[in-house]
Structure formats: C-alpha cells, structure tokens
Amino acid sequence: MKICVYCASSDQIDQKFFNATEKLALAFVKENIAVVCGGGANGLMGQLADTMIAQGGKIKGIMPKFMDDVEWSHKGITDFDFTETMQERKEQLIQGVNGIVALAGGSGTMEELFEVITLKRLGLFTEPIVILNTDGYYNDLQSLMEKMVSEKFMAEAHLDMWTFVNEPEEVIPALKAAKSWSKDAIDFATLK
C-alpha cells in the first residue's frame, strides 16, 4: 500500500500535532505502508520523514525544484523527485497511491486536499481520503463541508468522499474501510 500524506511545513505549531504525526508514521511502518509526501524538512513533513526513516520505513518526497534551491527538502529522503511547478508536484503526489491522508496544515495543505476532493467528485481520483482531526483542528472544516451538502452545493452522496478521524490509530482502519468510489462519479457531480 502507498499513501500520500498532506501536512504542514511550519515548525511553530503545537507539539500535539508532531506527536500525532509520529504515531501515524510508526503505524505506517508497522503496516509496511509506503508514504509519498511533499518532502519538506520542517514541520509535520519533517516529523513524518524523520520517523519513517528512523524506523526503516519507505518514504518518497516530491518537491518543485525552486523549493529545493532554497534548501527546503529533507536531506534524509533518498527517493526524491523534483518538479518544475507546484501543479506537477500535486499530480505526482497522487499517482499510483492507494489513498490520501491530510494532517493539520495551512493553505498548501488545504489546496492539496480540496483539489483531490474535487478530482474525486469528478471521478478522476477514486481512492480513500482520510482527514486526521487532531484535537478538533478540522472541526470547522468538517462543519463547512457538511454545510456544503445541506445547502445543496454538493449532493449527499459526496459525504462518502472523505472520512474524518480523531486519532492517528484510526487512520489506517479508515483507509481500509472507506466506501468504494466510482469513476462514474461525474454523473452525479451536480445532482439536485
């Protein structure tokens, strides 16, 4: 199994987010799950890579060359692809993966998450999406996404595109238990 992880690059965040990331990385290693991520050296990306590497796990980084030029890449990741653009990075991050996990993050994480949700809504990406809601970080996002459905901006069936979990230990079971999603999803993308 190969999972793409979206997460923060900030080192200024609360330790609870680093702890959750470490627990998740340990679970990935235990289950022999390979990880693809943005490849940054700092924040949760750095914690994810540090833990995976220290435990002998498989991790691949994908980063635009301009970010590597300013030394944002994690030097311990030996499997690295460098792209020309952010768009190419996002495309490569999801190629051949069996699921997406979003950890706490800022605008970059939100952009990646919403792009993959949009792709799933259109049937262009069909794998599970799990959002780790550490200490309620994503409570407001979950409410907003539910409101999108209740206000008819999305169909009720779209609620099956993602799963929110509260603890790192729930991520892998949620990935495995996710409802299947069809490439025909575009047929109900605009259901009334």
| pLDDT, tens only, 153-186 | 999 999 999 999 999 999 999 999 999 998 887 7
Q: Per-residue pLDDT averaged across 35-64, rounded? A: 96
Instruction: Quote the domain boundaries for residue 18.
Output: 2-188
Phi, psi of 185 (to 5 degrees): -55, -25
Element (H, E) at 2: strand 2-6
Return the structure tokens found at 108: 């970059």
Kindly report, residue by residue over 103-133, the tens digit of the pLDDT: 999 999 999 999 999 999 999 999 999 999 9
Element (H, E) at 69: helix 65-69
**Per residue in 146-170, is it b (16+ CB within 10 Å) or e — as a string?**
eeeeeeeebbeebeebbbbbeebeb
Kindly report, residue by residue over 76-103, the tens digit of the pLDDT: 999 999 999 999 999 999 999 999 999 9
Residue predicted with more confidence, 86 or 72: 86
Residue type, 90: K
Number of structural domains found in the chain: 1
DSSP H helices in the chain = 15-30, 43-54, 65-69, 86-94, 107-121, 139-150, 171-177
CA–CA dist 26, 59 (Å, integer): 12
pLDDT band at 189 (very low <50, low <70, confident <90, very high): low
Q: The whole model's pTM is what?
A: 0.94
Task: Kindly tell me if the per-residue pLDDT of 45 is higher than 50.
Answer: yes
Q: What is the pLDDT of residue 182?
A: 86
CA–CA dist 132, 138 (Å, integer): 8
pLDDT band at 188 (very low <50, low <70, confident <90, very high): low
Q: What is the pLDDT of residue 68?
A: 81
Task: Kindly tell me if the per-residue pLDDT of 74 is higher than 80.
Answer: yes
- Across the chain, mean pLDDT equals 94
CATH number for the domain spanning 82: value is 3.40.50.450
